[in-house]
């Protein structure tokens, strides 16, 4: 399914003051330089606030996280939980249409959506209060059919009860989420068949429904002041859990001095570990031009493509440099290799593919395994 930015976009986006504080707090969860990890929670909060994710929201979050706009757009369009078109001002209804729900009446719920909201998914109702879509399994199969409206699950639905629910939501009447047929959670419809000793003393609602009733934010556009802002990963002294070193940067240089001295002393005492690195670094061998020819001897060049790693274009380059024969390549030393290497587009290939050893064999009439295969399959015959 192609997902792209909606044709109509608001002029701007900004988090509410409380949501901005929440968003900034999320950044402290991640190490310095890894703030982009907060992109999904920030996009989700933008959707909770506005009902959908707009282009200005994507750009706002990208700027906040120091990300390219296209990167945040990629995340938004990849995850179907992000709505990329305006949704109803009251609620966006998601009907589960997968097997269990389909068998138990999901198609009847979809018919209600078509009747009361709009014929097609993602289309605003006439009053602008609702939109709807059919989604894949929402994981409440025991209580099928079900729908997610805003944050909450509404389960064990009937077409009549669902239609009334939409009417109540439209007029602002509170609707209790969870099972709609008297079921407490996900036990058999007839009641508990095991663990019956725990049936007494339970609360009016299960924990999920109780939380929704207490907070009352199921279909509410989140402003950020619904619950206290908590950052348990930040200590009272402002340090972030697991980042004690980063919390006190001024002390780091002082602690590093003795370590640096110890390292220097270790270097001096060690049995010359560093001299081994200097040759490697200083091993930039001075280039010496190999012996070249203006043309192949007797007008008969060797087939340099029999060297592993040499194709038609590279053979042409070698010929242009003055190399036509295996014995020329076999005589190269380090200085000559450096000269040729600096003139090839594929630096390092001479040593990596072992041209000199191959050329030495081919120059005296022997064959390498690669040369045998190349001749047998005629890989360059059409070149």
Q: Express each pLDDT in 121-148 by its tens digit.
A: 999 999 999 999 999 999 999 999 999 9
Q: Do domains 17-78 and 91-223 have the same CATH topology?
A: no
| DSSP 8-state code for residue 22 | H
Q: How many residues does the chain have?
A: 383
Q: Taking the domain 91-223, which CATH number applies?
A: 3.40.30.10
Q: Express each pLDDT in 176-230 by its tens digit.
A: 999 999 999 999 988 888 888 877 667 889 889 998 899 888 888 989 998 899 8
Using only C-alpha atoms, what is the Rg of the chain?
36
Give the domain 17-78 fold. Arc Repressor Mutant, subunit A (1.10.10)
Tell me how far apart the 2 most distant CA atoms of the chain are, in Å. 104
Closest CA to 371 of 303, 317, 319, 315: 303
Closest CA to 309 of 262, 342, 344, 282: 344
Asked whether residue 1 carries a pLDDT value surpassing 80, the answer given is no
What is the rounded CA–CA span in Å between residue 141 and residue 110? Answer: 17
What stretch of H or E contains 159?
Answer: helix 159-170
pLDDT at 217 (0 to 100): 86
| Cα end-to-end distance, the chain, whole Å | 44
Q: Express each pLDDT in 86-120 by its tens digit.
A: 999 999 999 999 999 999 999 999 999 999 999 99
The domain segmentation of the chain, as residue ranges, is: 17-78, 91-223, 304-377
């Amino acid at each position: 399914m192609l997902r792209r930015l909606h044709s109509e976009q608001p002029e701007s986006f900004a988090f509410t003051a409380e949501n901005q504080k929440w968003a900034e707090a999320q950044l402290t969860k991640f190490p310095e330089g890894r703030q982009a990890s907060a992109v999904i929670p920030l996009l989700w909060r933008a959707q909770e606030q506005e009902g959908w994710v707009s282009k200005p929201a994507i750009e706002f979050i990208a700027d906040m996280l120091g990300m390219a706009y296209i990167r945040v757009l990629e995340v938004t369009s990849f995850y179907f939980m992000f709505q990329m078109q305006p949704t109803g001002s009251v609620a966006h209804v998601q009907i589960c249409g997968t097997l269990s729900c389909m068998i138990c009446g999901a198609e009847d719920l979809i018919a209600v959506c078509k009747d009361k909201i709009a014929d097609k998914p993602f289309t605003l109702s006439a009053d602008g209060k609702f939109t709807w879509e059919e989604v894949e399994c929402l994981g409440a199969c025991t209580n099928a059919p079900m729908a997610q409206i805003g944050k909450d699950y509404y389960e064990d639905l009937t077409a009549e009860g669902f239609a009334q629910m939409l009417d109540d939501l439209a007029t602002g009447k509170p609707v209790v989420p969870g099972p709609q047929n008297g079921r407490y959670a996900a036990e058999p419809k007839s009641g508990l068949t095991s663990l019956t000793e725990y049936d007494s003393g339970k609360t009016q609602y299960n924990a999920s429904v109780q939380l929704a009733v207490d907070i009352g934010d199921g279909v509410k556009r989140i402003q950020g002041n619904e619950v206290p802002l908590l950052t348990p990963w930040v200590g009272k002294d402002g340090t972030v859990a697991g980042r004690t070193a980063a919390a006190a940067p001024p002390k780091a240089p002082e602690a590093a001095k003795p370590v640096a001295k110890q390292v220097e002393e270790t270097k001096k005492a060690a049995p010359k570990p560093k001299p081994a690195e200097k040759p490697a670094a200083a091993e930039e061998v001075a280039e010496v031009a190999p012996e070249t020819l203006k043309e192949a001897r007797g007008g008969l060049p060797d087939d340099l493509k029999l060297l592993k790693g040499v194709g038609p274009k590279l053979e042409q380059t070698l010929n242009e440099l003055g190399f036509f024969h295996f014995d020329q390549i076999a005589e190269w030393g380090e200085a000559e290799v450096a000269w040729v290497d600096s003139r090839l587009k594929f630096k390092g290939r001479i040593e990596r593919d072992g041209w000199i050893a191959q050329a030495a064999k081919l120059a005296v009439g022997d064959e390498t395994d690669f040369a045998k295969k190349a001749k047998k399959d005629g890989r360059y015959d059409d070149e």
